[in-house]
Structure 1
């Protein structure tokens, strides 16, 4: 089935969110899936990892970004503004089995935060409250993705840390929400609250929109061979096994490896997939892809 939407989100930054997006997107593409990454983070880390700084600069200058779409649609009131024309296809510098990865990008820029603020300001002037703003943006992005889905097997949404309007919309639109989490005290402190808010908490209950399709799934990332990481991972899995669990947990764990940091920095070279994701990281990504497909399509 075409166009499965995967949102990668967490309240906390620095937990391996962008690494998850890039690794999963390229692993899916390496298996032949037409894959689109939509960068919804003003830090634009996913964009620069895929496009490189030179190409990304050109994309931003031409307004071919998600924030460019929001400005055209809500600030300039261009009703014919569309996401499709802003997607950069054939953008990957990575090959697999002699072919370029079938990876596309809808980039972000540092202006996204201002664009989202302008969006809220504009719609507030139209007497909309925050819930109606979310519903309005949800309807527009859903319509845009409906057309985009026809061209892609998977669409990955790289959400900004926290719960912004765009993040809430993304979570509600997604077929699967992945929550990358470092298994330590600080990184997991607000995990239950984050997983409950949009699925069963006040934010979910007050909206007229449907709740997310399934409970979020935690991905343990940057795992180290320490007692704290071991105990926290066990605790997360025990919580996920409860009847009233707010989340499930992937069997696959992404261990902290220098190879992952090096992979994200390979933006000016042309590696193969296995050269980029070395030291067994490609095997971990294949395991993650298998679980993602099991979740979305059944075993």
Structure 2
């Protein structure tokens, strides 16, 4: 079974195809709480969609650069990165790098320079829409653009919310995870009212689910009652392989494609792809 799952996920023959949306879907992966699986979710969904026939761009907007690490894209000081696009108007196409071994996947890395971008953006004209303009100016069309946000609600996250049509919120199945959620939803509503009227919280993904605990079950019920159909049926379990993969510069999809973590992310990616097609492009 594990070998079968691995073949399905790695898709070496290219036979298994996830449906492509009729227009590019720009999805911002946001949650101001750290350690809930934003980067892991961004990297693994992007790889899963790219392995199954979609063209995907990952924009790493977190100064820690973890998404760049997870995709094994160079992001040391001096590498052209998303900071250059935001501050110096460098075209996104000049900064995006192809991800090794995955032909349809590209990544715009983040270096430590991005840490100062929050302050530098304050005095810039149209500071909230710099990323939106950079993505719109890319000559190639992608099926999916995933923006990995920092764990805060500053100007970088606002840029991501202005550039996106959809927000995907990963929620850790623990009590504190629900605490900051109201604040995040309020901020998304503010951005929708003043800057980006098309923004929609389209997808909620439950991560780090430990089925041995009652708490995980209670959090899942709370989230499903509150958000209804926005919550994906696929749930990401706590899985050692998911945690190990970044240290090898890989997603769990390529590191251990037969693992439960890889299977769960594959199911989540398929669900996101199907929802996009069924509702005319937005989930």
What interval of TM-score do these two structures reach, taking the shorter chain for normalisation? Answer: 0.7 to 0.9
Show the counterpart of 2:246. Answer: 264
2:239 and 2:233 map into 1 onto residues whose CA distance is 18
SS of the residue corresponding to residue 156 of structure 1 reads strand
2:37 and 2:94 map into 1 onto residues whose CA distance is 29
Q: TM-score, normalised by structure 2?
A: 0.82
Show the counterpart of 1:126. Answer: none
CA contact (8 A) 1:33 1:153 kept: yes
SS of the residue corresponding to residue 42 of structure 1 reads coil
1:248 and 1:282 map into 2 onto residues whose CA distance is 22
Show the counterpart of 1:224. Answer: 210
How much has 1:145 moved relative to structure 2? 1.3
* Match 2:95 to one of 81, 86, 90: 86
Show the counterpart of 2:109. Answer: 107
Distance verdict in 2 for CA 1:213–1:295, change over 3 Å: farther
1:223 and 1:14 map into 2 onto residues whose CA distance is 13
| Pair 1:238 & 2:225 matched | yes
Show the counterpart of 1:288. Answer: 268
* Match 2:147 to one of 131, 145, 157: 157
**Gap runs ≥5 in structure 1:** 74-80, 95-99, 124-132, 242-246
Q: Deviations over 1:191-220 (max 9, x none)?
A: 122123222x5x544x2x233432342210
How much has 1:275 moved relative to structure 2? 4.5
* Match 2:51 to one of 30, 36, 49: 30
Q: Tell me whether 103-112 or 281-290 shows the greater mean CA deviation.
A: 281-290
CA contact (8 A) 2:60 2:148 kept: yes
| Pair 1:61 & 2:78 matched | yes
Show the counterpart of 1:76. Answer: none
* Match 2:182 to one of 179, 192, 197: 192
1:276 and 1:151 map into 2 onto residues whose CA distance is 30
How much has 1:138 moved relative to structure 2? 4.1
2:133 and 2:84 map into 1 onto residues whose CA distance is 17
1:149 and 1:262 map into 2 onto residues whose CA distance is 35
How much has 1:293 moved relative to structure 2? 1.6
Alignment of 1:66-77 (within 5 A): 66-73=82-89
Distance verdict in 2 for CA 1:283–1:38, change over 3 Å: same
SS of the residue corresponding to residue 276 of structure 2 reads helix
Show the counterpart of 2:199. Answer: 213
Show the counterpart of 2:258. Answer: 278
Give the number of aligned pairs: 257
**Gap runs ≥5 in structure 2:** 1-21
Distance verdict in 2 for CA 1:164–1:216, change over 3 Å: farther
2:78 and 2:130 map into 1 onto residues whose CA distance is 24
Q: TM-score, normalised by structure 1?
A: 0.78
1:29 and 1:143 map into 2 onto residues whose CA distance is 24
SS of the residue corresponding to residue 56 of structure 1 reads coil
